[in-house]
Chains A and B, each alone.
Chain A
């Protein structure tokens, strides 16, 4: 694996059993992602983008082939090692935010740091920094049900970013947001990508997201159909 590469995928296949038959979700995927990329897996429903994102996120394993993330082979990781990888190096942003409903904004963002056993003072500083990036300092004590969709997604981004992960995986992050909120969220992610050099990998079919991507990987029927880089004047920024 090249030292600038963060993800390398070789001949990856993922097959799901469907009763007595099988469904091939990913077929012969070959990809690599460099550090600091702002890349999207684009494709219609069932194209395999979320499955690929889950494998990269060590939430799932390939049926065959190799998926290397930060020099670790996903298929060979034990449950504990996979959890360590997610805990230390990966940030997740989900379509439906997946915030902990009974925790307030501060506690939600603090959660990954608690798992990393970071001291209370440092934890507080890191959380407040993250909330400041996302413009949420006035919502510290609010609970998710009291927030708008855009605010919830910003909390989710703060939670994903607070530990400064090497890679952020975002699955349809704007699917539940209106246009204005979507653009706001995406601009924030672009800013974080540029300022913190965090690598972002999206799974999306939302044109608004696609407009911000620097690299677009099109998936169709579990295969990479097209992989294209976007010049800076083509992005929505």
Chain B
């Protein structure tokens, strides 16, 4: 084995440009695979952290009637905030949100919305609720960019909003759009309108009431509260986890295609080598190598390509990947056009497991694709090989 390693090394170094071309192609595959996988993992992380920052905080209490998939439950999903949360709310570590159904009438059209009352001073969510603390002639409201685009609304527009109060009576008034925000969480933007909590409570006659309570600290132990259902963070992010799991299968296909492309380069080199280096193979055998040892030598050579590629890849890949993790990759077109939750700039996340597994998989597969064509050597007649006759 030591001899094979030494000879393989000499053959690779001696082959010069041919070796380096293969190594560079393979190292490029290493870096691209890790980078791309990092982007996909980063996207998943981002989806989860965006969801935390924009929608669920450190966990929530839901009113027992509240069902986010059934808007009709909103009429019953409100109750007085339990006394035990007063202090946490006063400290800003819990944000109550009151939700009611409403209808928006932009430019004579009609759009059913969920009206969310939220404290303008809150800082658990990234929502620009400070823009609700604005003195205007109508009710200040903020909406997401996606909805603003579909309804052709811009900042400063006046729109009529209709809702029903606690007794089921319809009422309406004008709101003014004080801010349009962009998030990567569609459920925060789609058909949602945010107005000051106290104002909504007055409008609906639901004083001191809320639909959901979002807390900041996910680590604190949370007691069961009558009439409210505790939803820990991991329960609220379960849907994202399931989505990531589904996406992982798709990513694996992508990963396999990239690997396949890299392996084609090695396979091609090995097949060519076996035809071009017949005389050399015959010489090895004449000098005392068995055919099996020659197969071993060619296999080690192939495997060494991948190890050299890992070293070369590390030389330029580590700075490149680190730089990418810092500045991220900005998608050259509007991410919103893809119709899915995606940040405009994705920050790749690389785990040690990703790097090690990529290197291991590439080295193992390279060894296999090197061994595969090398088996032809075992069938070669050494006297024919010595003359370099193609068989």
Contact = CB atoms under 8 A, between A and B. Distances in A.
16 contacts: A50-B383, A54-B383, A59-B285, A59-B383, A79-B292, A83-B289, A92-B287, A94-B283, A94-B286, A98-B386, A100-B280, A100-B283, A102-B15, A102-B16, A143-B14, A159-B287
B250 interface: no
Q: Can you list the 9 inter-chain pairs with the closest CB atoms, starting with the nearest?
A: A87-B288, A102-B14, A98-B283, A83-B290, A86-B288, A92-B286, A115-B288, A54-B383, A59-B382
B386 A59 contact: yes
Nearest to B14: A102
Interface stretch (A106-114, A208-216, A229-237): A106-114
A59 B287 contact: no
Given A59-B286, A83-B290, A114 B386 contact: no
Contacts, number: 73
A57 B286 CA distance: 8
Interface of B: 3, 6-7, 10-11, 13-16, 279-280, 282-283, 285-293, 382-383, 386
Contacts of A99: 283
Given A102-B14, A107-B10, A112 B382 contact: no
A125 interface: no
- B6, B285, B287 — most chain A CB neighbours (10 Å): B287
Nearest to A60: B383
B3 A115 contact: yes
B3 A117 contact: yes
B14 A80 contact: no
- For chain A, the bracket of interface size reads 20 to 34
Contact of A83 (B10, B13, B288): B288
B282 A98 contact: yes
A103 B16 CA distance: 11
B15 A88 contact: no
Contact of B285 (A83, A111, A159): A83
Contacts of B382: 59-60
B15 A115 contact: no
B376 to A, nearest CB: 16
A98 B284 CA distance: 10
Nearest to A99: B283
Contacts of B3: 114-115, 117
B197 to A, nearest CB: 77
B330 to A, nearest CB: 45
A212 to B, nearest CB: 23
B9 to A, nearest CB: 11
- B280, B286, B292 — most chain A CB neighbours (10 Å): B286
Nearest to A171: B386
A80 B290 CA distance: 6
Contacts of A107: 10
A98 B288 contact: no
Nearest to B385: A59
A84 interface: yes
Interface in A86-141: 86-88, 92, 94, 96, 98-104, 107, 111-112, 114-117
